Amino acid sequence: MRLTSIPFLFASILFSATLFTSCAAEQSAAYDYDINGNGAFEVQQEGLYANANGTYDAEERKSYSDFNSKTEYSGPKMLVYNANMGITVKNSDSTISQITRIAAEQKGYVVSKSNYQITIRIESEKLDGTVAQVSKLGKLTRKSVSTTDVSDNYADIKIRLDNAEKARTRYLELLAKAENVEAALKVEKELERLNTEIDQLRGQVIKMEHDVRFSTLTVNVNQKQKLGPFGYLFVGIGKGIGWLFVRG
pLDDT tens, residue by residue, 119-163 = 999 999 999 999 999 999 999 999 999 999 999 999 999 999 999
For β-strands 109-113 and 79-89, DSSP reports them as: unpaired
Question: What range does the domain containing 127 cover?
Answer: 80-226
Considering its fold, how many domains does the chain have in total? 1
Q: How confident is the model over 8-29, as pLDDT tens digits?
A: 444 454 455 444 444 443 433 3
**Alpha-helical runs (H) found in 75-121:** 92-105
In a domain, 174, yes or no: yes
Note whether residue 68 is domain-resident.
Answer: no
22-77: per-residue pLDDT in tens? 444 343 333 333 323 333 333 333 333 334 333 334 444 444 444 444 455 677 89
Is 32 domain-assigned? Answer: no
CA R_g for the chain: 36
Say if 5 falls within a structural domain.
Answer: no
